[in-house]
Structure 1
Amino acid sequence: MEQPATLARSAVFAPIDEVGRAEAVTARLEEAIVLGMLHPGERLPAEARLAERFGVSPATVREALADLRDRSLVTTQRGRRGGSFVTLDEADRLEAVERRIRALSSAELADLGVHAVAIEGTAATLAAEEASPFEADALARDLASIDFGDELAARRGVGGFHLQVVALSRSVRLAREQVRFQHADGPLLWASLHDAEERIAARAGGERLVAAIRDGDGARARAEVEAACDRAVRWLLEAKRRLG
């Protein structure tokens, strides 16, 4: 069945800048499937709905889905219970993530962290100044609801959590930049959540970030974002070294 909307999932289906380009739709959906934002067995929104959300024509969506079928990333079924379903299995997904890591230089991987801090570090500082106690409590509940015992659930949840932090900054521009980052290279930054120890660290870091926002301590909130991004980048660089 199609999954409910969250901020992180909304980033997957945000409008495509390159209007009319099937390649851009294909790349967006492939990224989301490979990095676990869309999971095996999940039904994608209907073609008309995808076209509306991406801001492209239905013909462009059909072309993109055909490309994804050729790559064995989705299958399409007809009938009342039909639709397009994610088919990438876990072994293939992990192999695809490894290919992404190999394809980027160490400098490019490190730049993911720089980009993330530039957006969310600034947003976290503002969120500590702007967020009400009620909003801080809601952020804490969102974090507590994430299943850190499951890798894919943790990736989806952490992505949504970081979008929520940026939203609390009250900056429309920062929110837009975070959405762009989230649906482009950003999810790769959280490939580290493949490791159980990294998921434990991510939850603890998220709790400290929430506490800093609740206390109105912008400097501490930014430092927690920087620490989280530094951990994620170090994991990526070690993975690249290990993969050769």
Structure 2
Amino acid sequence: MAVGERVSARTAVFAPLTSGGRAEAVVQRITESASLGLLADGEQLPSETELAAQLGVSTVTLREALASLREQGLVETRRGRNGGSFIRAPGDPTKTDLRSRLSALSVSDLRDAGDELASVSGAAARLAASRASTDNVRRLLTLAERIGAAAGVGDRTRADSRFHIEVAVSAASERLTRSEVSLQGELGLLLWGAASAAGHAAESAEQHRAIALAISREDAGLARDLAERHVEQNMHRLIEARIELHGGGGRGR
């Protein structure tokens, strides 16, 4: 399908920023892309001029962002003929760091983010059911199995997020793909940091397979319902973890 072939997860990584071209937005984009595995460890970024043009920022802004990423150990810049800026994939966050990040979000923040994610993921699954190519479906079925074999928060996050991003890719929508990447970058690590590993991974693998099969059968309504239900269950788990951090209080905060 021609329209589907023009969309990929990489489209979202290097798409123009919509937040005013700030260095912080560039840092966030690169950090999220590396944590989700969309930018691989050791991968060379485009030249400064090319990357600035792709992201829609000035070279000054891009250099400021790269300096910040270097300080965080997420980018290494090499000089010389074979030089450039290279991705250094982040390690798994500590439980303390994840708890701190989760605690900084209110229940209302999580609920709003969950509503947005359910809307994006549901729409992507519905459209994928009518637009996915045979290759898209094959990729979805393969990705659906990965989360069950993943070990560690980072690997589970990447396996889970890549499946959902691929659903958006299969929907042949650049906007939905960009939204899915952004939301997975915001919530993925928190979800898997709060999850009980084995049981949640097995449950997610089953739900991923069900979504992929609904898409393969071109059942748009079922694909949307399954995707929305999957997100709602995950966000309920995350909200409960946030409440427990505060001793059962603060449900509305």
TM-score after normalising by structure 2: 0.74
1:237 Cα deviation (Å)? Answer: 1.3
CA contact (8 A) 1:136 1:214 kept: yes
Residues in 2 aligned to 1:154 and 1:18: alpha-carbon distance in whole angstroms: 29
The residue that corresponds to 2:250 in the other structure is none
The residue that corresponds to 1:143 in the other structure is 144
CA 1:89–1:164: 2 relative to 1, 3 Å: closer
Structure 1: gaps of 5 or more residues: 1-5
Residues in 2 aligned to 1:200 and 1:108: alpha-carbon distance in whole angstroms: 27
Match of 2:225 among 223, 226, 235: 223
Q: Secondary structure at the match of 2:181?
A: helix
Q: Secondary structure at the match of 1:90?
A: coil
TM-align CA RMSD? 3.2
CA contact (8 A) 1:148 1:200 kept: no
Q: Secondary structure at the match of 1:76?
A: strand
Residues in 2 aligned to 1:181 and 1:133: alpha-carbon distance in whole angstroms: 22
User: CA deviation digits over 1:94-151, x for unaligned, max 9?
Assistant: 5544333222211111222211221221232233244455643343234346674234
CA contact (8 A) 2:9 2:169 kept: no
Q: Report the identity percentage.
A: 30
CA contact (8 A) 2:41 2:87 kept: yes
Q: Secondary structure at the match of 2:45?
A: coil
CA 1:116–1:219: 2 relative to 1, 3 Å: same
Report the residue type matching 1:15 in the other structure.
P
The residue that corresponds to 1:114 in the other structure is 115
The residue that corresponds to 2:251 in the other structure is none
Whether 1:53 and 2:54 are equivalent positions in the alignment is yes
Residues in 1 aligned to 2:66 and 2:125: alpha-carbon distance in whole angstroms: 37
Whether 1:193 and 2:195 are equivalent positions in the alignment is no
CA contact (8 A) 1:120 1:178 kept: no
1:164 Cα deviation (Å)? Answer: 2.6
CA contact (8 A) 2:156 2:192 kept: yes
The residue that corresponds to 2:88 in the other structure is 86
Q: Secondary structure at the match of 1:14?
A: coil
Whether 1:236 and 2:223 are equivalent positions in the alignment is no
CA 1:10–1:220: 2 relative to 1, 3 Å: same
1:182 Cα deviation (Å)? Answer: 1.7
Report the residue type matching 1:86 in the other structure.
R
Whether 1:211 and 2:213 are equivalent positions in the alignment is yes
Residues in 1 aligned to 2:160 and 2:14: alpha-carbon distance in whole angstroms: 17
Q: Secondary structure at the match of 2:115?
A: helix
TM-score after normalising by structure 1: 0.76
CA 1:217–1:133: 2 relative to 1, 3 Å: same
Residues in 2 aligned to 1:52 and 1:28: alpha-carbon distance in whole angstroms: 15
CA 1:167–1:90: 2 relative to 1, 3 Å: closer
CA contact (8 A) 1:19 1:55 kept: no
Report the residue type matching 1:188 in the other structure.
E
CA contact (8 A) 2:36 2:162 kept: no
Structure 2: gaps of 5 or more residues: 1-6, 247-253
User: CA deviation digits over 1:10-68, x for unaligned, max 9?
Assistant: 433332123542121123233445x4447895445144243243222332211111122
1:88 Cα deviation (Å)? Answer: 4.2
